[in-house]
Amino acid sequence: MQNTLQVKNVTLSDISGKVMVEDLSFIINQKDKMAIIGEEGNGKSTLLKAIYNPMWIEQYAKLSGTIDMQFSLVAYLAQKLEAKWNACFLYEYLLRDEIDEECDYNRYQRYEEICASIHIDNELLYKDQKMSSLSGGERVKMQIVKMLYHQPDLLLMDEPTNDIDLETIEWLTTFIKESDATIVFISHDIELIDACADVILHLEQRNKRNKPVWSLHYENYHSYAKNRNEKYEEDVRITQKEKRVHKAKMDHMNDLKNKVTHAHNSVSRQNPAMGRLLKKKMRVVKGIERRMSEEDFSIDTYEESIHLKLADTGYPAGKEIIHFEQDVYIQDRLLVQDANLEMYGKDKVALIGNNGTGKSVMLKAIYAMMQEKELDVIYMPQNYEELLDYQVSPIDFMLEKTTLLLADVQTLLGSIHLSVREMSEPIGSLSEGQKAKVCLAYVIAKNPKVLIMDEPTRNISPLSKPVLIELLENYKGALLLTTHDRFVLDSLNLSIYKIENQKLYKL
C-alpha cells in the first residue's frame, strides 16, 4: 500500500473566528515534495502543525475536517529549535530524545552513516559546543540528522532556510531533491522552491483579506507565478468584455422600457385592450431587467504583494559615508582581520559569507561608527526585537517613533497587509513575517539616507519579495546589507564583499 497524506475539507480559523484556510483538500503521495507558500498570517505554519499534531494548535486555532496519514513515522522541523535545548551541548542533543534522558552513545555509528548519505562532514557531530552557539546552518543540519535517525518517511519543515547560509541552502536543496522521504515544507526561498517542489500549495486571502482561497499547482514556482499573473489579466479582460456586453443589453432593455412607457401613456382610453397588452409587456420587460441587474460580473481580487515605496533621498554620490578599517571581534575572538570597506553616498553593498564568519558583527560595528558620525542611518536587524517594541501595537510604535499622523500610519500598515485587528495587537503576537513588514514600514516612514539591513528577505514571502527588491533597486540612498538569498544577489546591482578565512574580499 502506498504511503499517502490525505487532507479533506479542512478549515482552520483563529480564536477570533477569522478563517485562515477553508475547505482544503489534497493528497500527497510517497516521495512527493510539496511547498506551501502564501503571505504572512495566512495559516501556513498552523496547517503544518495541524498535520503533525492537531493538539499543537488548540490554544490559538480551531480545526475541522480530517487529516489522514498513512505514513509510518512523521518528523517535524520547527522554525526555531526548542528553547530547552539551547543550553545543551551538541552531543546531549544528538544522544537524547528528551532532555532528561540518559545519553545513548551507540547512536554515533548511525549518525555517521546518515552524515555520509546526505553529504555532511561527520566531524560536525563531535563539535564541543552548545546548541545556541552553533551557526544556523550547523544547527539545521544537526536537527535533520537527528530527525533521520528515526527513519521518518514524511518530513514537515517550517522555513528551514531562515537562519542558514548560502552553502547550507545549496546543501538543503540537494538533500530535499535526493531524499526518498515525502517532504512538505514552507519556505520564502524562491530558488529552493523552484528546484525542489513538484507541487505548490498556495494559501491566499483575497478580496482585501476577507476570502480565504487555496490552490494546488503541479509546476515550478516561476511558471506558476507567471501563469497566475497571466490568468488574472485574462480574467480581468474577459470580465471587462462581459460587462460591456451586459451594459449594451441593459441599454437596449432601457430603450425598450421607455418605448413601452411612451406607448402606454399615448394609448387612448377608448382602447383598453391595447393598454392591458402594454402593461403585460412592461411587466415582462421589468422582469428581464431585474434578472439582468442581478448578474454578477465581479472577480476575486487576487491577494496582492505588499506595497512599498521610498521617497527620493540620500547623500551626494561623492560623499564618503564610511571608511571602515579595523579588525572585527566578538568578545576576544577575532572574526575578520584588517577589514577594509569604503562606502559613498549612492553605493549599494552586499556582505556575504558562511554563518559565524562575522557579517552581522561587522554590520553592527559599521552602524555604530555611522551613528558616531551622526549620519541619517537606520539599521534593520535580524532580531526584530532590537528595533521594535514587542509590547506595543504597530500603530502605537509608529506614532511614537515617526512623525506620521494616525491616518497615515493606518494607510502605511494597510499597505503591508496588516488587518485592523493586527495593527492594534502587540507586535510580539505577530508572525515573524509580519514583524519584518512592520520594520519595513518603519524604514519607509523614516526614509533614511543610509540603510543597513541584516537578512532583509528572510521572512518575506515569495510573492512580496520582488516588491522589496524593487524598493531597494530604486532606493536613492546608500545601502549595506547581508544576505544568503540568491534571488537578492541575482536581482540587485550590488558590490559584493565576502568574509572568508578571517579576511574580507571584494568579489
Q: What does the pLDDT look like over 439-476, one tens digit per residue?
A: 999 999 999 999 999 999 988 888 888 889 999 999 99
**In this predicted structure, what is the pLDDT of residue 253?**
73
**In this predicted structure, what is the pLDDT of residue 211?**
85
**In this predicted structure, what is the pLDDT of residue 227?**
81
6: amino acid identity, one letter? Q
On whether the CB atoms of residues 47 and 12 are closer than 8 A, the answer is yes
The answer, yes or no, to whether residue 300 has pLDDT greater than 60, is: no
pTM equals 0.77
Task: Give backbone dihedrals phi and psi of 499, rounded to 5 degrees, phi first.
Answer: -95, 120
Do 4-228 and 320-506 show the same overall fold?
yes
Place 309 in a pLDDT band, splitting at 50, 70 and 90. confident
On whether the CB atoms of residues 384 and 419 are closer than 8 A, the answer is no
**In this predicted structure, what is the pLDDT of residue 301?**
57
The residue with cell 498513512 is: 70
**In this predicted structure, what is the pLDDT of residue 164?**
83
Place 205 in a pLDDT band, splitting at 50, 70 and 90. confident
Place 293 in a pLDDT band, splitting at 50, 70 and 90. low
Average pLDDT of span 199-226: 88
The answer, yes or no, to whether residue 295 has pLDDT greater than 70, is: no
Query: Mean pLDDT, the chain, as a whole number?
Result: 88
Could you report how far apart the first and last alpha carbons of the chain are, in Å? 53
Report d(CA 208, CA 308) in Å as an integer. Answer: 17
Task: Output the CA–CA distances (angstroms, integers) from residue 506 to 479, 494, 497, in the order listed.
Answer: 16, 11, 4
On whether the CB atoms of residues 337 and 504 are closer than 8 A, the answer is no
Cell (9 digits) for 37: 507558500
C-beta atoms surrounding 329 within 10 Å: 14
Average pLDDT of span 49-70: 94
Average pLDDT of span 187-206: 92
Q: Give the class (CATH, top level) of 320-506.
A: alpha beta
What radius of gyration, in Å, describes the C-alpha atoms of the chain?
29
Q: Give the CATH fold of the 4-228 domain.
A: Rossmann fold (3.40.50)
pLDDT in tens, 330-362: 888 899 999 999 999 999 999 999 888 889 999
On whether the CB atoms of residues 455 and 483 are closer than 8 A, the answer is yes
Average pLDDT of span 417-435: 88
Q: Where are the domains of the chain?
A: 4-228, 234-293, 320-506
